[in-house]
Structure 1
């Protein structure tokens, strides 16, 4: 469950974030779909509009966002691209594509603000097929990253299958099966691995967000951490109100400067704002 903001959060944190602009590196927007892509585990029975995201996060100093293609829409990125075209200065995107996706389409997406692709491996065998290697080459050519979402405890085996030169962004604290797993996850991969501190309600039993944030901070340093709201918290909609605020995270970081690095500077650089 999402922790509530600490009542004694330093007001300077809020002021600094509002001045520089917090970046929400993980949110979704979609129309009322009715039916999802084949194999979808969950399809919302509501629409999540860009305007609703605005209303949720703007009061917390969020000025920019990264729109992530929801898994239930599969490789139909049309809605995501439409929204990116409407707000080119404010938004970046992470799309979902299949092996063999046309290079010219990737370039068209790049021009619209897409800067990565997502592999949602939840519920799969977590094997990365060789058919994806040409796509990884294209990601590097475009200076894009690979975003991965795994089942609990499966991150290490996925990282071992990826090219060492590829920039990787992991969803939701990496979803370790236990807190101690973090210390052994990324040996030799510090320079290309970013971790999203997002969606504590998706963590395994026994894993606390505060503890994991500290472990990742120790493991990869503050320059490889970013924050995301996971709005509208699909399948966990009761966490939506608290997810929109980054203050629950800001209270754990060592200083106002570190808070601004995680909430703003890292994401502005990673996503090319």
Structure 2
């Protein structure tokens, strides 16, 4: 049997992030982060394309306390495949302050979806990113989304920027809210007029679409403090203030260089959401509407 190609050894997450210079509003939410393992308890998927460093819930909870984040959305990553156990365990420990985005097989049944819902899951993620393996099957996405619509869930879509032109017509077919990861992974050095970013802006005209203005460390070409990327986040927040989310992306899987300081990423919010009302919507109001609507 041919072995699956693994990416190089990952960088460790930042051991001592700074205290942010800015104070976050009450109820602030990290809308994109992960838990990995510990592998001894929650093994990684055999078909994974990378093996991360253990990043357990205790480390994440401590980071959130340090940064001033009170709530969080845990996103299932490909290294755990469709075994959502580590994520569900962390959500349970969060005592209502955490929700989740799962990865599931196309043949998942309603009883399993209801179990995930009871465990705090509110959406499903689909990957179209080359380094994470084969792109999601479009027919499978149609089947899965039909099953999750009655639960009030949404889809999270993670894609390489060059794929958006081909994906956009398909995404418009789907009759549920969709959240785009990491500003569509555009290239910050190509400027706001680049076709990929203009396609993203066009897609966002449809009110079913949301976008996460995080991942500055991924799309930057200038390196720390990643202000070249934060400018794109600012454009999206200004244009679509009611359909934007932000997260740390801790523990930053597959970062090859410039492992970010999470406190410094929080400080980029001064650029991304420069006015208090924008910060309130980005960090509190929007994630509440999407993930905790029962509290409104």
Q: Which residue pairs with 1:134 in the alignment?
A: 143
Per-residue displacement from partner, 1:180-234 (whole Å, max 9, x unpaired)? 2322333475311111111212116489312211332354x11111110001112
How far apart, in 2, do the equivalents of 1:85 and 1:36 lie?
20
Partner secondary structure for residue 237 of structure 2: helix
Q: CA deviation at 1:29?
A: 1.0
5+ residue gaps, structure 1, are: none
- TM-superposed CA distance for 1:125, in Å, is 6.6
Q: Which one of the candidate residues 201, 214, 221 is aligned to 1:198?
A: 214
On the 8 A contact 2:84/2:103 being kept in 1, the answer is yes
**Greater CA deviation, 83-92 or 206-215?**
206-215
Query: SS of 2:162's equivalent?
Result: coil
Shift of 1:155: 2.6
Q: State the Cα distance separating 1:30 from its structure 2 match.
A: 2.1
- C-alpha distance 252-118 of structure 1, shift in aligned 2 (>3 A): closer
Shift of residue 49, structure 1, vs aligned partner: 1.6
**Equivalent of 1:223, from 242, 264, 275?**
242
The count of residues paired between Structure 1 and Structure 2 equals: 260
Distance 1:62 1:216 in 2: 22
2:50 maps to which of 39, 42, 48: 42
Is the 8 Å Cα contact of residues 214 and 233 (structure 2) preserved in structure 1?
Answer: no
Task: Sort the Cα spacing of 1:120 and 1:254 in 2 relative to 1 into closer, same or farther, 3 A.
Answer: same
Please name the residue that 1:184 is paired with. 199
Structure 2 counterpart of 1:232: 251
What is the DSSP-based 3-state SS (H/G/I as helix, E as strand, rest coil) of the residue aligned with 1:29? Answer: coil
Q: What is the TM-score normalised by the length of structure 1?
A: 0.84
Once the two structures are TM-superposed, the CA of residue 243 in structure 1 deviates from its matched residue by 5.6
Q: Is the 8 A contact 1:31 1:47 kept in 2?
A: yes
**Whole-angstrom distance in 1 between the partners of 2:118 and 2:110:** 13
Give distance in 1, aligned partners of 2:264 and 2:284.
15
What RMSD in Å do the two structures reach over aligned CA positions? 2.7
Q: Please say if residues 67 and 94 of structure 1, whose CA atoms lie closer than 8 Å, have aligned partners that are also in contact.
A: yes
Please tell me whether the aligned partners of residues 76 and 84 of structure 2 are also in contact (alpha carbons under 8 angstroms). Answer: yes
Counterpart-to-counterpart distance in 1, 2:80 and 2:134? 21
Deviation at 1:240, TM superposition (A): 4.5
Question: Helix, strand or coil: the match of 1:223?
Answer: coil
Cα offset for 1:23? 0.1
TM-score normalised by the chain length of structure 2: 0.78
